């Protein structure tokens, strides 16, 4: 699958085939893709937590209202931001955008490997971020949680090109 196909076939999957194990090499490929994302001044303000433990996935699902499908999926990858990775950053930093780029790379790599995913936002919901940080044992800021597994259904495509949202300045 090429990049263009991955972009156009990626869906937010909310039903997964339970009991599917993702090979360690595929997990590594997804994480490597994430770490190839661009970041401001190459600060790489991220760390990743792979959650395979079923009991912990159940706890995360209870703490995040949009992760109800996590218990049936194979795993979650939590993308966590390191706000101090670029000490001279402008106020607010660029780490949320950098983590979003890493998140998208995971989604596309997972699609290319044949997995379904769902991007569940965590940051800037303070209580949600704190709860997930406690559950996964990090001091960094959970920015996004990506559910990964074999899709039990393929949702209908909802994205499309909309010319009315484009302006050309020539």
pLDDT tens profile 49-96:
999 999 999 999 999 999 999 999 999 999 999 999 999 999 999 999
For residue 112 the two structure tokens come to: 């290319």
CATH dotted code for 3-154: 3.40.109.10
Strand, coil or helix: what is 170?
coil
Helix (H) and strand (E) counts in the chain: 5, 4
Confidence of residue 44 (pLDDT cuts 50, 70, 90): very high
Distance CA 64, CA 144 (A): 11
The number of residues making up the chain comes to 170
pLDDT of residue 36 exceeding 90, the answer is: yes
pLDDT at 156: 81
Distance CA 35, CA 106 (A): 9
The yes-or-no verdict on residue 158 having pLDDT over 90 is no
According to the model, what pLDDT value does residue 87 have? 92
What's the mean pLDDT when you consider all of the chain? 96
| 157 pLDDT more than 90 | no
Q: Helices in the chain by DSSP H: which ranges? A: 3-9, 24-35, 54-63, 95-112, 126-136
Flag whether pLDDT at 135 surpasses 90: yes
Domain boundaries, given as residue ranges, for the chain: 3-154
* Whether the model pTM is above 0.85: yes
Which pLDDT score is estimated for 114? 97
């Amino acid at each position: 699958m090429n990049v263009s196909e991955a972009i156009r076939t990626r869906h937010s999957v909310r039903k997964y085939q339970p009991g599917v194990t993702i090979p360690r090499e595929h997990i590594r490929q997804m994480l490597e893709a994430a770490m190839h994302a661009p970041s401001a001044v190459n600060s790489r303000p991220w760390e990743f937590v792979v959650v395979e433990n079923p009991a912990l996935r159940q706890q995360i699902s209870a703490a995040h209202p949009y992760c109800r499908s996590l218990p049936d999926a194979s795993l979650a990858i939590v993308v966590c931001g390191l706000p101090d990775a670029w000490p001279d950053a402008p106020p607010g930093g660029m780490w949320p955008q950098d983590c979003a780029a890493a998140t998208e790379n995971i989604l596309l790599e997972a699609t290319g490997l044949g997995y379904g995913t769902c991007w569940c936002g965590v940051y800037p919901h303070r209580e949600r971020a704190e709860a997930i940080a406690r559950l996964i044992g990090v001091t960094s800021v959970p920015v996004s949680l990506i559910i990964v597994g074999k899709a039990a259904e393929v949702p209908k495509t909802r994205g499309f090109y909309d010319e009315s949202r484009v302006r050309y300045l020539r």
